[in-house]
Amino acid sequence: MEPFLRKRLTFLSFFWDKIWPAGAPGFLDPDADLEPEPAGVEPPAAEPCSPPAPAQLFRALCDFRAQSAEELSVGRGDRLYALREQGGYIFARRLSRPPRTGLVPITCVTRVTPEAFSDQPWYFSGISRAEAQQLLLSPGNAPGAFLVRPSESSHGDFSLSVRAQAKVHHYRISTAADGSLYLQKGQLFPSLEELLAYYKVHWQLIQPCVPQDKWERPRSEFTLQRKLGEGYFGEVWEGLWLGSVPVAIKVIKPADMKLTDLAQEIRTLKSLRHQRLIRLHAVCSAGVPVYIVTELMRRGSLQAFLGSPEGQALSPPLLLTFACQVAEGMSYLEERHIVHRDLAARNVLVGDDLACKVADFGLARLLKVRDDIYSPSRGSKIPVKWTAPEAAHYCVYSQKSDVWSFGVLLYEVFTYGQCPYEVLAGEP
């Protein structure tokens, strides 16, 4: 009865709380009727069996007043669960306020993605359960500190990690069939914000976790051993971290870079993690030159590798696996709304096991602040042969211009590293 009423009449939650007080009064109670998130594999949500894909959740960007019986009035911030898309509308169920269904213009709504929370102090994207634990137990955080992170095993769901004295508890935030969120069965909320507001009161979630910059390391921990190459942003060195871990160290030329912009880009790099993207290990950004420390890819750039005797001997099916790996990395960037702007075989790196990883995805965005250099009027610094016409002519970079560059990269891959449009003078 209670779960049924709570689920159907969410707007009366205050009233249900009076009749059925919350399951976890006072401080954190790990034995409450919760979906604890066990280490390793998270349990499937107990109810219901088919939660909606995150792509079906929308949020209203503005107020919209229904003009006809088929339309649905929404207020800015309302959460909507799209049942279908229909021309320029979504036919949706409103999750906030009294639930109703109807048509809402697609221009008034935006899909809810984890990135939508990136401004929230409690939302930590791209961190694992173990990292959340380490962070919450670090000095600077006290009992009651909490954070929300994307679930590692259940795509589209979230997990809540909460510090209680010297322990951290992890709870799965599940999504019900109608798009509502819950920690305790039957205790449904239309949005993550409302769920947290409720548990802040009932569980004393005291303050969002204070981030520790685990990437920031002293420069003395790194030794430069061998110069690997040089690009627009500076030199790249093979080196050792704490005398033993092999790493690649990009030594940023201070002259060309506004440090505040660089800091913003480094923040982006820290939030991106995918097996097909170069992995950031550490940053030394106190003082100059700034070091950006990444995993070392021993076979260097894909372009150079394809031109080497070993590369020239590769079979076409292997070349196809290279292209697929790059596509996977780029697809992840697209999901995160990052435009690479400089995709080319020279910016893909190859590891010992022939794994390919996309590199320079964060730094390429600094082209925005290098307009004086990359603008079409100044011309020569644009990698013209890889750049889509609208980007080259009007500086309009998008996922579509990245797809253009990917096409050129395919040419490089299947010609074993030949330069595209070889008849055209000028490089690149």
Ligand X SMILES: Nc1ncnc2c1ncn2[C@@H]1O[C@H](COP(=O)(O)OP(=O)(O)OP(=O)(O)O)[C@@H](O)[C@H]1O
Residue ranges of the annotated binding site for ATP are 250
Catalytic residue among 157, 342, 360, 402: 342
Q: Any contact of residue 232 with ligand X (CB under 6 A)?
A: yes
Decide: 248 and 239 in contact? Cβ < 8 Å: yes
Q: CA dist 325 to 121, 196, 275, 292, Å? A: 33, 38, 9, 23
Q: CA dist 400 to 263, 341, 368, Å? A: 27, 10, 17
For ligand X, give the closer residue by CB, 60 or 296: 296
Contact with ligand X (CB under 6 A) among 104, 257, 278, 388: 278
At 79, list the tokens.
């959460």
Stretch that binds ligand X, among 122-130, 187-195, 308-316, 345-353 (CB under 6 A): 345-353
CB of 297 to ligand X, least distance (A): 4
For residue 63, the one-letter residue type is D
The number of helices, as runs of H, and strands, as runs of E, in the chain is 11, 18
Binding-site residues, please?
250
Determine whether 33 is an active site residue.
no
Q: CA dist 314 to 173, 300, 307, 398, 414, Å? A: 47, 16, 11, 32, 10
Q: Any contact of residue 349 with ligand X (CB under 6 A)?
A: yes
Stretch that binds ligand X, among 6-14, 159-167, 201-209, 346-354 (CB under 6 A): 346-354
Who's near 122: CB < 8 A, 6+ residues apart? Answer: 146, 147, 148, 196, 208, 209
Q: Any contact of residue 276 with ligand X (CB under 6 A)?
A: no
Q: Any contact of residue 151 with ligand X (CB under 6 A)?
A: no
For ligand X, give the closer residue by CB, 185 or 217: 217
Q: Any contact of residue 241 with ligand X (CB under 6 A)?
A: no
Q: Which of residues 244-263 bind ligand X (CB under 6 A)?
A: 248, 250
Question: Is the CA virtual torsion 276, 344, 215, 271 positive or negative?
Answer: negative
CB of 390 to ligand X, least distance (A): 20
Q: What is the dihedral of CA 404, 408, 413, 414, to 10 degrees?
A: 110
Contact with ligand X (CB under 6 A) among 347, 387, 401, 405: 347
Q: Which residues bind ligand X (CB under 6 A)?
A: 228-233, 236, 248, 250, 278, 294, 296-297, 300-301, 342, 346-347, 349, 359-360
